[in-house]
Structure 1
Amino acid sequence: MAPHGGMPQPIDGARWPRSYDLLAELPRLLAGLPRAWGNITSVTVNGAAWPAVPGRMLVFNQVVRLRRTMAASAPHTIVLLAPGRGRWDLLVVPRDTTEEPAEPLMAAAAHGHA
């Protein structure tokens, strides 16, 4: 999930899912994104955190390709791609994290310090 130079991508935001069910979580995630990000057509998730990942799914009448990675360098991220718009890497706070440790992680990610 890192570019060819080996440097990690910056974190563009954070997500604290309610479950590990990607089919339920992805529509909620995409609905909450800024409109300026455009239509997300590809999502890459960590296979260890999201066990069931189909090859694609229909979200808001649009096909979204889903990919799984087992990259150790990005165990808690989700990567969103929108053609012609860009790539966004989001920190995923594990679902079972309590509010006390989750809040600073979310705040740091929102300010690009995760």
Structure 2
Amino acid sequence: MNAPTGQRASPERELPSFLPQARLTLRPPTFPPGPVSGAWWPRSDDLAAELPALIEAFDTSWGRVTRMTAHRDTWRQAPCDLPVDGHTVRAAWLTSGFDPHSVRLFAYGVGRRDLLVVPPGTTETAAQRLMSAAADPAHHLTASALLAL
């Protein structure tokens, strides 16, 4: 269940009890990281609605995500604090020097993961192709370079 359009997440807002599973694919952990560690295909450009499912996937398999960085022009809103189940993720918003087609997640003491953000309106076929390419250890391409394939 996504937040209503135009509504901003706040600490007072309750998160939905059911989150759709994040559409996410990751590189195998045994391979050295490339410019991206995988891909995420959000359902909308509302980060406050989309981030909880992504964070839930990482919190259970990798480590508690405490911070994220994204390009300001990619998302409709740019809140500094994003409430997720059990904690808050601090957001940093950049407008230059950061790939506009990626998101960077940080887990304290574990490291960081950079993900290609597949645009929400992408067709199923194109999204699956992009997600497979982002998770392919043979590719060492940035998020923008993957989208140009």
The TM-score normalised by the length of structure 1 is 0.83
CA shift at 1:61, angstroms?
Answer: 1.6
Return the match for 1:107 from 125, 132, 137: 132
Q: Deviations over 1:4-48 (max 9, x none)?
A: xxxxx6210101110011110000111222634210000111111
Unpaired segments ≥5 residues, structure 1: 1-8
Letter in 1 for 2:119: P
* Alignment correspondent of 1:39: 64
Q: Which residue is equivalent to 1:19?
A: 44
- Amino-acid identity (%): 43
Q: Report whether the alignment pairs 1:10 with 2:40.
A: no
The code of the aligned residue for 1:96 comes to G
SS at match of 2:104: strand
| Larger Rg, first or second structure (1 or 2) | 2
Equivalent residue runs for 1:75-90 within 5 Å: 75-90=100-115
Is 1:63 paired with 2:104? no
- Bigger relative contact order (CA 8 A; separation at least 6): 1
Runs of 4+ in 1 over 3 A off after TM superposition: none
User: Where in structure 2 are there 5+ consecutive unaligned residues?
Assistant: 1-33, 142-149
Q: Deviations over 1:27-82 (max 9, x none)?
A: 01112226342100001111111120111122112121011111355010000001
Distance 1:15 1:28 in 2: 11
- Distance across 2 between alignment mates of 1:75 and 1:64: 19
Report what 1:5 is aligned to: none
Equivalenced residues, count: 106
Q: Which moves more between the two structures, 78-87 or 36-45?
A: 36-45
> Please, which moves more after superposition, 71-80 or 90-99?
71-80
